[in-house]
Structure 1
Amino acid sequence: MQYKVNLKDMFLFEFKSFLGRKFMNNSPRLNDGINYLNLGAGENYIDGYINADFFYGFKFWKKNSLKREWKLDLRYPLKCSDNTFDGVFTEHTIEHLYPDDAKRLLKEIYRILKPSSIIRITVPDLEKYVDFYNKEYNDIDVREFQKRYKTGCCGIRNMTQNYFHFSVWDFEEIKKYLEDVGFRDIKKMKYGTTQDEKLNLDLKDRAWETLYVEARK
């Protein structure tokens, strides 16, 4: 587990962000007709969707396996017109932002969604980790937690500090943030259950730790 961030890594990340924002085309390559956004796609590339993530692949002489239709830095305004997308799916992404950056991103997502369209957000669920820490196993898959963490403390530390996590979320907190930027009809969902089948993109191997939330513009 990698908890330490060194100055070199921080500099390279910010330098890539600067180069990408200044010298690359930061607008999405849209489909004709319907457009769904997979925001923070990482290695989970989905055909037919607008897959968006950070500016990687500056070594142009090497083949970049992470295909993206939109390269961006989620801490900054999205270069996209209002009311563009028919739906947004973002999986285990906003926990990599500080809370104020996450709120700005949610506001931007609200802007680029079409009216009445849905955002589906998944994040590590603080409530599940706290239940594991407190040994309250009724509503969690305790075997999955125990496979990964020897103690509850280890689990909490992993969720809050590992993998460049900068914020933690439960349903109450994310609901407040969504309401603050204008979303309505905010619902806690389950794995594989959605109000829009185009957003049924959950990765099964993350279900044990995940909070699923949908909201409508």
Structure 2
Amino acid sequence: MTSYDAADLIPLEGFTPLQIDEKTPISKKIQYACGLNAFKGWLNVDFFDDALIWNFTHFGGVPRNVAENVYKLNILDRHPFPDNYFDYAFCEDFVEHIQQKDAILFLFEVYRTLKPGGILRLSTPGLDGVMNVHFNKPNYESILENQDSAYTRWGHVHFFTHESLKTMASYIGYREYHPVSYGESLHKELEHLETRAEQNEYKINLYSELTK
């Protein structure tokens, strides 16, 4: 786990996440469910759910980079942003934690708030990778054991394939779907954003860019 010096931490007692209001500077680039990984020059948003609070507790406080740069937002509700606003959006390792019906709503709200031609870059464990890594020995005992390592332990509930994600995106209205590689993009703003190199090494994740 990442460690922080005391000077880099804000006491957890009394900490309140930043809230989005009419005074919030809204970048043209947004990162959803950013966790501890806030990007400079982007609008970083997160649930501030139990998983993130667990990290704060173990650190002994809230990292200043999070406290000062991440806004609390329920991204499974209507997003407080205008239509056709963002140029770029990024989301790493989030959609596998939500039900398929919630993913439809999330992808729609991202679509609504992207400008025409705007791009969402997604990184998520893919079903092909999960099956290859966790369920490549199809016997009863192995499947039970790997249900924990693939699903329960990490709060994972649903895995996409490129085909299923493309189907969902096209019905929502995205006009282009491009499978891409870890850290690589035709758009400079979307290069080298992923942080989970180990998932790329084991070929678990799929990476894609969806264009409005």
Corresponding residue for 2:25?
Answer: 30
Distance, in Å, in 2 between the alignment partners of 1:206 and 1:129 is 10
Q: Please state if 1:162 is matched with 2:157.
A: no
Distance, in Å, in 2 between the alignment partners of 1:212 and 1:87 is 15
RMSD between aligned residues? 2.9
Superposed CA offset, 1:175-217 (max 9, x none): 1111121112201111122132211201223313211011100
One-letter amino acid matched to 2:198:
D
One-letter amino acid matched to 2:62:
N
The TM-score with structure 2 as length reference comes to 0.73
Corresponding residue for 1:143?
Answer: none
Distance, in Å, in 1 between the alignment partners of 2:97 and 2:182 is 21
Q: 2:36 aligns with which of 33, 43, 54?
A: 43
Q: 1:202 aligns with which of 187, 191, 194?
A: 194
Distance, in Å, in 1 between the alignment partners of 2:80 and 2:23 is 8
The count of aligned residue pairs is 178
- Residues 96 and 124 of structure 2 are in contact (CA less than 8 Å); yes or no, is this contact kept in structure 1? yes
- Residues 38 and 70 of structure 2 are in contact (CA less than 8 Å); yes or no, is this contact kept in structure 1? no
Corresponding residue for 2:168?
Answer: 177
**Percent identity among equivalent residues?**
25
Corresponding residue for 1:144?
Answer: none
Corresponding residue for 1:104?
Answer: 105
Corresponding residue for 2:124?
Answer: 123
- Residues 82 and 112 of structure 1 are in contact (CA less than 8 Å); yes or no, is this contact kept in structure 2? yes
How far did residue 163 of structure 1 move? 1.9
Residues 131/72 of structure 1: CA separation in 2 closer, same or farther (3 Å cut) = same
Distance, in Å, in 2 between the alignment partners of 1:160 and 1:28 is 39
The TM-score with structure 1 as length reference comes to 0.71
Q: Which runs of 5+ in 1 are unaligned?
A: 1-18, 136-150
- Residues 29 and 50 of structure 1 are in contact (CA less than 8 Å); yes or no, is this contact kept in structure 2? no
Q: Which runs of 5+ in 2 are unaligned?
A: 1-15
Superposed CA offset, 1:43-86 (max 9, x none): 11111111110146999xx9632234431112211111111211
